[in-house]
Amino acid sequence: MATLLQEILTNNYEFLANNKCTKEISKYPQKKFALLTCMDTRLVELINKALGIHRGDAKIIQNAGTSLIGEMGETVKSLLLTIYVFDIKEIFIVGHYDCGVALTSSKDILHNMRSRGVSEQQLKLIEKDFQVWLDPYTDPAKNVLTVIKKLKANPFIPNDIPIHGLIIDPHTGKLDLLADGYKEI
Ligand SMILES: [Zn+2]
């Protein structure tokens, strides 16, 4: 039986044989927006289709829980890169209902790490980080608004960048608007 790696390599071989991808697409997003969303498996393909995003349109940042921790964490730095290097003009924060991150806690993950042999000494070093990240996050819609609030308070995000907040149904792709960024400009 083929391993997953073999399957992926075979898929790629077949993809290349069937897709003559000759058209060069710019790394600068044509629709000049950045999208921050979750890594949820159900959003694969769905979010692009549901929002009408095509190759070359946008910068898409995905992480666990559409989260944004720390004023200068990786997510913020990625967004700053999209603004100051890739010329994006708007930001979309798109959470989703039934987010697995909202259903987990620092206790759960630390427990599982302990079961897999991570030492108490090591766990102590990261415990606080995981508490700050996971434990306040129980409501995906509220999280979207919190992320927007944090970005608006960030002195490096220009005031003229609209930051929109939405939440998507991971089954149907239906979007609900939580915050219209144009109204805040
Ligand atoms: Zn999620």
- Domain residue spans in the chain? 27-101+139-185, 103-136
Cite the annotated binding site by residue number: 38, 40, 96, 99
Residues 6+ apart with CB under 8 A from 78: 59, 61
Task: Write down the pLDDT at residue 42.
Answer: 98
What protein residues have CB closer than 5 angstroms to ion ligand 1? 38, 40, 99
Assign residue 171 a region (left: φ > 0; alpha: ψ between -120 and 50; beta: otherwise): alpha
Task: Write down the pLDDT at residue 140.
Answer: 97
CA of 175 to the centre of ligand 1 (A): 15
Q: How many CA atoms lie within 13 A of 136 on its CB side?
A: 12
CATH architecture label of 27-101+139-185? 3-Layer(aba) Sandwich (3.40)
Rounded to an integer, what distance in angstroms lies between the CA atom of residue 151 and that of residue 119?
36
Task: Write down the pLDDT at residue 128.
Answer: 96
Task: Write down the pLDDT at residue 35.
Answer: 98
CA of 140 to the centre of ligand 1 (A): 8
Task: Write down the pLDDT at residue 20.
Answer: 78
Six-digit token pair at 126? 């990261």
Task: Write down the pLDDT at residue 26.
Answer: 95
Low-confidence spans in the chain with pLDDT less than 70: 21
Task: Write down the pLDDT at residue 82.
Answer: 98
Cite the annotated binding site for Zn(2+) by residue number: 38, 40, 96, 99
Task: Write down the pLDDT at residue 109.
Answer: 97
Rounded to an integer, what distance in angstroms lies between the CA atom of residue 137 and that of residue 62?
16
CA of 22 to the centre of ligand 1 (A): 34
CA of 80 to the centre of ligand 1 (A): 22
CA of 54 to the centre of ligand 1 (A): 22
Task: Write down the pLDDT at residue 185.
Answer: 78
Task: Write down the pLDDT at residue 175.
Answer: 98
CA of 68 to the centre of ligand 1 (A): 13
CA of 138 to the centre of ligand 1 (A): 11
Note the residue count of the chain. 185
Q: Which long-range contacts (CB under 8 A, 24 or more apart) does 177-180 make?
A: 178/141, 178/144, 178/145, 179/144, 179/145, 179/148
